[in-house]
A and B are shown apart, each in its own frame.
Chain A
Amino acid sequence: MFKIVNREEMAQGTIILNEIEAPRIARKAKPGQFVILQSNEKGERIPLTMADVDPDKGTITIIYMVVGKSTASFGKMAVGEEYFAVIGPLGKATHIEKRGKVVCVGGGTGIAVLHPITRGLKEAGNHVTTILGSRNKDLLILEDKMSKASDTLHICTDDGSKGHHGFVTDVLKDVLEKEDISLVVAIGPVPMMKFVSAITKEKGVETLVSLNPIMVDGTGMCGGCRVSVGGETKFACVDGPEFDGHKVDYDELSNRLRAYLDDEKKSVDDSEKNA
């Protein structure tokens, strides 16, 4: 079960793609849904969005940034090795419909999460403008695929090594000025989603964001993933992960993502010591 059948490195090895055998999940998964994985019995349960699925082949694809102990252990697994557990599909699927002109904004590995949604929006007949951001040109992922899934593609880099020199929000403001946009989908680091939402809120453009709080079970059983949306507590794993970007309390989310900062460091130190 859960054998890795394909593995690719992206962004100079900082981002990894795994295609994994998971036939039951592949049959059911829809854009926007995620899985929870454990590389071994002692491993943490890690949520990752499915960047692609192949129901005929019975595989799912995840794309993740190596940020800590668990993603590092995933990254070390070779083709042929098996994940100990893969659970899903979890969360609500993105509601995809024809809205007219839409903008998809992606940053970091959020681009991987955004890709199936962008493709879905285009297939549903929308005119899709995509804005991708990364620190520099080498860390940008899925440019070709995103280009195919979009009508117009803008690239932004923090250091100006490719495309617009600056943030995705600069380009977004521009697009919102010039065109009549009915929906913005923004997926990426929390500050990015926060700033995008602030801009679109001012313009009154509906905005969907995908939240990534710390999770345990992913089935609504623990409440660890709670986020405040419009003053109400929601469980991101079952009520989300997508929410109305104008209503999310991003500062609370940023805080909660730092809950285990000291332990995460300890975990990495400990595994390096053992290696």
Chain B
Amino acid sequence: MAGKDKKIKVPRATMPEQAPEVRRRNFMEVPLGLTDEMAMTEAARCLQCKKPACVEGCPVSVDIPGFIQKIADGDFSGAIERLWDKNALPAVCGRVCPQEIQCEGNCILGKKGSSVAIGYLERFAADKARELGTGALPKVAEKTGKKVAVIGSGPSGLTVAGDLVVKGHDVTIFEAFHQTGGVLVYGIPEFRLPKDIVAAEVATLEKLGVKIELNSVVGSTVTIDELFEEGFDAAYVGVGAGLPRFMNLPGENLIGVFSANEYLTRANLMKAYLFPEYDTPIARGKNVVVLGAGNVAMDAARTAMRLGADSVKVVYRRSREEMPARAEELHHAEQEGIEFVLLTNPTQFFGNDEGRLTGMECLKMELGEPDESGRRRPVAIEGSEYRIDCDLVVVSVGAKANPLLTNSTPDIDLNRWGNIVADPATGKTSKKAVWAGGDIATGMATVILAMGAGRDAANSIHDYLTIGW
């Protein structure tokens, strides 16, 4: 055990980052990446457990000790191949997975000291491969002549497309927007996930033979049944959770109140932060309030800061412990001067006679009895109303299933929230030859779960195309 104790004493790698006072005003990526040496030192901390707890915490069971050992050995292309075995988008996952509640949360080293920085190493291996052009493209199997339509190009759709094209099927992605990537391009900002990383992943798929039809809103431009008539043999629905939730408070339609979807789509997909070089404008608030405390809320708050805000407040009705965002996002946000106003709930918005937002009213809350989710329910403190002056509010309290596609396909069963009912093991829906997965089936979840669902569905689609439904 001497070796183990020694390893516990080696400090966990610290990610080099842009300084908070600099980065809070630019859109460049915050973490700068580990050097080769830092990565190899960090990789050497791994105990190479016989029964690795980290792998159990990984939704797609990446061979974590395996890829880490390759990094420790300096075999970087070996590392990426291990990762690709289970995860088609490691450069993305290394940046956005909630490692602290998955692999790293389980890592044995974390019990006594700090866990191995698995996320940093995953990102390192993927960036290295992209930089050096190493890691061979997977071999494409002989053509099967079967055609698959993948609807939506978020992480789940991209995974299905990649897996099935490698198995020899003819794959076409139909994407509603003019760009591929789903939330990875329209939601998650450049400073957290550079868009050329997503573009590189999509370019790889195209090299493997995946066809992409942009500007195709399935349900409007073409229906699933029409795709079958056009000769597709199977369809995968990975359209995400694209319907914003508002709070239905008085004044919510004032100019200056936005859904996170609109605010982030303008900023990221339409590149409004580069206005007027790009044509799409975005409201640049001086006093900004973001409602909610998930990753989406942190992205909105940090974007507002970068667009020149004097103050940005995150208003959340529960307490610090319940904030659902990744630990790193909360930490980065605080470093950048975002203020957390906890146990506080909005009740109405105020505007001027031009219909522009000038402020909002909030109620203070206290924690009461636990609710169904096991979290203590926030209860309003009577008479605690107070006003916050603000000129921009971003509502980030979740998203629901967008009914556009499912309305046009009545034979796909939905649950009571409007999400598609899909077999958790295979992704099969109630409609023959149609699979679904990712946020449209689960409600807003994570990138890795969307990819995991995509992989399971791809296997099931392959079985269907080669064996039968």
Residues of A within 8 A of B (CB): 24-25, 28, 38, 41-45, 69-70, 84-90, 216-217, 219-224, 226-228, 233, 238, 251-252, 255-256, 258-260, 263-264, 266-267, 270-271
Contacts and interface: CB of A to CB of B under 8 A. Distances in A.
Given A85-B178, A238-B404, A252-B355, A90 B279 contact: no
A259 B283 contact: yes
B216 A222 contact: no
Contacts of A221: 242-244, 261, 265, 402
Contacts of A226: 253
Given A24-B216, A28-B220, A219-B404, 16 more contacts: A44-B270, A70-B279, A87-B221, A88-B217, A88-B221, A217-B177, A219-B217, A221-B244, A222-B261, A228-B253, A255-B255, A255-B355, A256-B355, A258-B354, A259-B255, A267-B276
A216 B221 contact: no
19 contacts: A24-B216, A25-B221, A41-B178, A42-B279, A44-B280, A69-B279, A85-B215, A216-B270, A219-B176, A221-B243, A223-B261, A224-B259, A226-B253, A233-B246, A238-B404, A256-B355, A267-B276, A267-B281, A271-B276
A188 B220 CA distance: 25
A24 to B, nearest CB: 5
B149 to A, nearest CB: 14
B252 interface: yes
B277 interface: yes
A69 B279 CA distance: 8
Interface residues of B, number: 40
Interface string B352-374: 00111000000000000000000
Given A28-B220, A38-B178, A216 B259 contact: no
Interface in B217-253: 217, 220-222, 242-244, 246, 248, 252-253
Nearest to A91: B220
Nearest to B223: A28
B275 A89 contact: no
Give the one of A217, A252, A270 with max B CB within 10 A. A217
Contacts of B281: 44, 260, 263-264, 267
B355 A42 contact: no
Contacts of A255: 255, 354-356
A85 B403 CA distance: 23
B258 interface: yes
B278 interface: yes
A87 B178 CA distance: 9
Secondary structure dominating the interface of A: mixed
A219 B242 contact: yes
Contact of B402 (A38, A85, A220, A259): A220
Contacts of B221: 24-25, 28, 87-89
Given A24-B221, A252-B355, A260-B281, A270 B276 contact: yes
Contacts of B242: 219-221
Given A221-B242, A226-B253, A216 B266 contact: yes
Nearest to B395: A223
B262 interface: yes
B271 interface: yes
A153 B315 CA distance: 57
A45 B270 contact: yes
B214 A85 contact: yes
A259 B220 CA distance: 29
A225 to B, nearest CB: 9
Contacts of A222: 244, 259, 261-262, 265
Contacts of B262: 216, 222-224
Nearest to B242: A221
A44 B265 CA distance: 12
A175 to B, nearest CB: 34
A86 B246 contact: no
A42 B271 contact: yes
Contacts of B244: 221-223
Contacts of A69: 279
A90 B217 contact: yes
A220 B259 CA distance: 12
Nearest to A221: B242
Given A219-B402, A220-B402, A233-B246, A263 B275 contact: yes
Nearest to A69: B279
Nearest to A89: B220
Contacts of B275: 263, 266-267
Contacts of B266: 216
B354 A267 contact: no
A69 B262 CA distance: 21
A220 B246 CA distance: 13
B178 A224 contact: no
Nearest to A237: B404
B290 to A, nearest CB: 16
A249 to B, nearest CB: 8
Interface string B271-291: 100011111110100000000
Nearest to A259: B255
Given A216-B265, A222-B265, A256 B255 contact: yes
B312 to A, nearest CB: 20
A112 B259 CA distance: 32
Contacts of A85: 178, 214-215
Contacts of B354: 255, 258
Contacts of B220: 28, 88-90, 219
